[in-house]
Each structure stands twice: as C-alpha cells, then as structure tokens.
Chain A
Amino acid sequence: MESLESLFQPGQVSTRAETKAAYSRDASRIQGPCQGVVWPETVDDVVRLAQWAAETGIDLVPRGAGTGLCGGATPQNSIVVDSSCLRKIGARDVQSKMVVVDAGIPLDQFNRTLRPDGLFFPVIPGSHRSATIGGMIATNAAGLHAVRYGRMSDWVEEVVVVDGKGEVQRLSAGDRKVFAGREGITGMVLQATLRLTEIPKSRSLTLFSFEHLADMLEQVKQLKTNSALSALEYLNPHAAALVGWTARHCVLAEYHSAEGEIRDPAEMANLWGARESLSARLTQAGFPISEDPQFPPETLEDNLDWLTVQNIPVFGHLGVGILHPRFLREDARIAELYYRVSASGGQISGEHGMGLKKRQWASEALKAEVLALKRQFDPQHIFNRGKLC
C-alpha cells in the first residue's frame, strides 16, 4: 500500500481499520474485504490510480454514496474509489438547460443549486438525499418520476470516464450503452453533462385505493393517458398496511397540475415521506431483501396477483412496471420471482443494477455484452471486477 500512498496527497488514501470496515459494504449489506480507500480530487488522480491497479493487479471499486442495493460498491479485496471529494458544479447554461457536474455531487444538493434558475434534474431515486450523479449513471437510475421523465440515460449528454486502460474517455449520449447502467465495469464516471428541465408550476397528489387489482390496473391505464401525470407509485395491501395506509392496493398519483385531491404542500410532503420511508421500514419489519424486476404492462396483473397472494410486500414505480417486492433473507420465492420475470419478458434489474447480488440471474446475452465491453475498455478487469455478471 506504500506505493499507493506515494501517488497521492496525505489524506487522500486511508488503510485504517475504521475506514476499511466502513467501506466494506454498501446499502445492500453485502460485505467484502476492503484493502483501502482513495478519495480522488481530479481526473488525473484516477488515471494514476488505474495505472497503479494495472501494475499491482488490485481491482478498483468506484463508489458514490454507497446507497446501492446490490453490492455494486462492495469491495472484494479491492481498493474503493470514493467520489465524495468530486463535487464541483459547473456554470449552467439556462438557455439550453445544460450543466456539467462532477460525479460525486449528491442529487438533492445539486437540485438545490438549480432552484434559483427555476430548473431541476428530474430523475429522482428514493435515495435522492444522498445518491450521487455518478452512481445514478452507473445504475441507470429511474425512480419516483420515471413515468414522466424516464431514466438517467435519457438526461446524460456526455460523460468523462477513466477506463481500465487508464485512458480518459469522453463519451456522448450515443455511447450510453458503454456507461449507463454498466455499474462501473467499463471505468469510473467522473464528470457528466446533464440536461435539465423546468420546475413545474404546480403539483398535486391523489391517493387511490382499490379492493381489486383489476380495477386498479384499469384506473392506471387511464391515468397514464394524462399528460400532467408525473408519478405513479404503487403499494400492495401488505406494504400499505406497514405505512399506516388502508390495506388495499394503493396508487399514489402525482400531477404537474392542480387536478389532484391533495394540494397542501405539507400534506403532500407527508405522503411522499411515508412512501419514501417504505424501503427502510420494510427492512426493519423483517423484509430486508429488495428486488427490482421490471415487468411489461400486460403481465403486471398476473405477477402482482402472485406477489400479493404470496403475502410479499411490494411497492414500486407502477407507471414503468418496476416493482420492489421485499423478501426475507434467503427466501426461496426469489428464484420463482425471477423465473416469472423471465417468462414475462421482463428485466431482472429495473433500476438497482446486478452488482454481486444478482450475478447468478445474468443472461448469456448480458454476459457476452459485458465481456465485449471489458475487452474494449478494461481488458485487465481493473474496474469493479466480478460485478454485474
């Protein structure tokens, strides 16, 4: 480790026991041994680090806020590269609604700086308080407003990446398959040019609840034709009861208009607060395993019915078919869920990524894609070795 420390300023590298323990896992709580942590401050720092990794054979694990749920930032005898000192926000072009940001900027902090110009970045995962732009690109995050704004790859114009050859790549939106949702296996995203949008003039919410799933899905179909719709969040009866809502199929619809029943900002904040606390509350209630399959719309009824009959708490971004069923540790039904995802023509990972947790479910096509990307950008498997598949 002395050779690593000699490359950086004091304070940029730590191999202390405390550091290694704190970085041994992310929010997935999948743990692995960490050899040390580096806090780069420039692109050159990461270039030097990649060269060092190539010489030593020790792999690098890029890390944003460590809010990932699949072990994407869990080290495996690796050096963790923490982006928390990369937080510059460039001058924004209000006219073209574009800005260049460092990868380590947390989303909420970023959005607070945009507010005076009436702009915001609209991809909002549940972890928005801490989640970083770099991590959101790496997982191709979708989140609470995906039904209106899509996912990260729809809003990234360009990224600066240091790849596994220690080369600085400037990749445009056309190359999004190289970086968006690749969980750092092609290199570490250090900077991004993002598109922004205007803050809506008004917002309102309606909380629907239904006894029967079919009735709910009929309503959802109608809601999706509303051009003011900006969120469509689902809780099944089991999950709804856990946040104190009626134990029915609940849908929280947000509009960028005043047509919702709830317009009081405090009341809206309360509802969103309950929705956003669900993940942690389900963990505490004994359902720590969070999955994120994405189902095609026509298969939702059958799969939601199965989940509810199985008494599995579920919430999710119904507008885009991403669900978050929650399981007990080592629940045998997880395998059944992924069999159903596959049979439905859905995606194993809607937005959390594959990380270490879902490698076993990776398709042959994904494995081939990853191998090809590794050959091109990281032939020595320096970045996030063994992740994704």
Chain B
Amino acid sequence: MLIDLTENPACTECGLCREVCPVFQIQRQEEYSPRGRAILGSAGIQTLVFYQCTLCRTCRVVCPVGHDPGGEIIRAGLISAGIETEANQMMIANIRQYGNPFGPLAEGELPKTLTCC
C-alpha cells in the first residue's frame, strides 16, 4: 500500500505547491498540480499534461525541499518519444521552414495565429 519511496525520491508529495501553481488555479485537478505531475512522472506516464506547466517554477520557491519540476527536461523526453501537441509540432515546423513560429508571412504582415506548446 505504501509506495516504494524510491519511486519518487525528489518530491515528498506533501502538496504544499498546489495553490501557488497558476495552472492548478485554472484546472483545479491534481494531475495539473506540480505534485500531480511528479506522481505522473514517477509512474512513467508520458502525457500531454506536462505541456500545461508554464515553467514558472513558483512551486520550487514554496517547496520545503526546493524540488525543481524540471519541465524542460520532461518535455524534451516527450518530444524524443514523439509525444507532442499539434501546436508544438506546427511551431517547430514553421521555425524550420520559415524561420519563425507563425508560418509564411508577407513583408509587414502581422501573424494571425499565435502558436504555443
């Protein structure tokens, strides 16, 4: 019943990070909280939920043990595994093809779509 604590050694799962997380404030679901994402990570679940982290690291500021969620590393792992949002794929393709994240733009044209991960 008690998990093997080496499963998630960096996060103590105390949950004190929930309320400072801007994403949790909107979603109000544990999987979007820093603790929730740490649990998903420890369970080896690769999911688009990790893209919801804003990488602001406010959770690290309040974490009693200073745990860093490492969002960039997790996303790099997801991209390597081919798990990406459509917006992310489009953004990267646009950067590669057009040198900007928006796609083809005429001289002086403002982007109509703002793509983000």
Chain A residues in contact with chain B, CB under 8 A?
Answer: 14, 16-19, 21-32, 37, 39, 65-67, 71, 74, 82, 84-85, 106, 108-109, 127, 129-130, 276-277, 279-281, 283-284, 288, 329, 356
Known: A30-B1, A280-B12. A14 touches B40 (CB 8 A): no
Question: Given the complex of chains A and B, what is the CA–CA distance between A18 and B17 in angstroms?
Answer: 19
Distance (whole angstroms) from the CB of B65 to the closest CB of chain A: 5
7 residue pairs of the A-B complex, CB under 8 angstroms, read A18-B31, A22-B40, A25-B13, A25-B39, A39-B28, A66-B15, A67-B15
User: CB of B110 within 8 A of chain A?
Assistant: no
Contact assessment for B39 and A22 in the assembled complex, using a CB-CB cutoff below 8 Å: yes
Contact assessment for A19 and B29 in the assembled complex, using a CB-CB cutoff below 8 Å: yes
Residues on B with C-beta less than 8 A from A74 are: 1
Residues on B with C-beta less than 8 A from A23 are: 30-31
Residues on A with C-beta less than 8 A from B49 are: 18
Contact assessment for A21 and B45 in the assembled complex, using a CB-CB cutoff below 8 Å: yes
Residues on B with C-beta less than 8 A from A284 are: 12, 65
Q: A24-B39, A67-B14, A281-B64 are in contact. List 16 more A-B contacts (CB 8 A).
A: A16-B31, A18-B40, A18-B47, A21-B43, A22-B30, A22-B39, A22-B40, A27-B12, A30-B2, A39-B28, A66-B30, A67-B16, A85-B28, A106-B19, A280-B63, A283-B14
Residues on B with C-beta less than 8 A from A106 are: 18-19
Shortest Cβ-Cβ A-B pairs, 9 listed: A280-B64, A277-B64, A22-B31, A22-B36, A22-B30, A84-B28, A283-B12, A18-B31, A280-B12
Residues on B with C-beta less than 8 A from A26 are: 15
Question: Given the complex of chains A and B, what is the CA–CA distance between A30 and B2 in angstroms?
Answer: 4
Q: Which of B47-77 contact A (CB under 8 A)?
A: 47, 49, 62-65
* A289 to chain B: closest residue by CB: B2
Contact assessment for B19 and A280 in the assembled complex, using a CB-CB cutoff below 8 Å: no
Residues on B with C-beta less than 8 A from A30 are: 1-3
Contact assessment for A39 and B1 in the assembled complex, using a CB-CB cutoff below 8 Å: no
Distance (whole angstroms) from the CB of B50 to the closest CB of chain A: 10
Residues on A with C-beta less than 8 A from B62 are: 129
User: CB of B106 within 8 A of chain A?
Assistant: no
Question: Given the complex of chains A and B, what is the CA–CA distance between A130 and B18 in angstroms?
Answer: 7
Contact assessment for A21 and B40 in the assembled complex, using a CB-CB cutoff below 8 Å: yes
Q: B18 touches which one: A18, A65, A277, A279 (CB < 8 A)?
A: A65
Q: Is the interface of B mostly helix, strand, loop or mixed?
A: loop
Most buried by A among B28, B43, B63, B64: B64
User: CB of B81 within 8 A of chain A?
Assistant: no
**How many residues on the B side are at the interface (Cβ–Cβ under 8 A)?**
30
Contact assessment for A65 and B15 in the assembled complex, using a CB-CB cutoff below 8 Å: yes
* A129 to chain B: closest residue by CB: B16
User: CB of B5 within 8 A of chain A?
Assistant: yes
Residues on B with C-beta less than 8 A from A21 are: 31, 39-40, 43, 45
Distance (whole angstroms) from the CB of A113 to the closest CB of chain B: 13
Contact assessment for B15 and A108 in the assembled complex, using a CB-CB cutoff below 8 Å: no
* A19 to chain B: closest residue by CB: B31
Contact assessment for B1 and A32 in the assembled complex, using a CB-CB cutoff below 8 Å: yes
Question: Given the complex of chains A and B, what is the CA–CA distance between A129 and B18 in angstroms?
Answer: 8
* A21 to chain B: closest residue by CB: B43
Known: A21-B39, A29-B5, A31-B2. A84 touches B14 (CB 8 A): no
Question: Given the complex of chains A and B, what is the CA–CA distance between A108 and B14 in angstroms?
Answer: 16
Contact assessment for A82 and B64 in the assembled complex, using a CB-CB cutoff below 8 Å: no
Contact assessment for B65 and A280 in the assembled complex, using a CB-CB cutoff below 8 Å: yes
* A24 to chain B: closest residue by CB: B39
Contact assessment for A71 and B1 in the assembled complex, using a CB-CB cutoff below 8 Å: yes
Contact assessment for B3 and A31 in the assembled complex, using a CB-CB cutoff below 8 Å: yes
Q: Which of B1-48 contact A (CB under 8 A)?
A: 1-3, 5, 12-20, 28-31, 33, 35-36, 39-40, 43, 45, 47
Distance (whole angstroms) from the CB of B12 to the closest CB of chain A: 4
Contact assessment for B29 and A27 in the assembled complex, using a CB-CB cutoff below 8 Å: no
Q: Which of B69-96 contact A (CB under 8 A)?
A: none
* A67 to chain B: closest residue by CB: B15
Question: Given the complex of chains A and B, what is the CA–CA distance between A382 and B112 in angstroms?
Answer: 52
Distance (whole angstroms) from the CB of B68 to the closest CB of chain A: 14
Distance (whole angstroms) from the CB of B113 to the closest CB of chain A: 25
Question: Given the complex of chains A and B, what is the CA–CA distance between A106 and B30 in angstroms?
Answer: 14
Contact assessment for A27 and B39 in the assembled complex, using a CB-CB cutoff below 8 Å: no
Contact assessment for A109 and B64 in the assembled complex, using a CB-CB cutoff below 8 Å: no
Contact assessment for B19 and A130 in the assembled complex, using a CB-CB cutoff below 8 Å: yes
Residues on A with C-beta less than 8 A from B16 are: 67, 127, 129-130, 280
Distance (whole angstroms) from the CB of A233 to the closest CB of chain B: 16
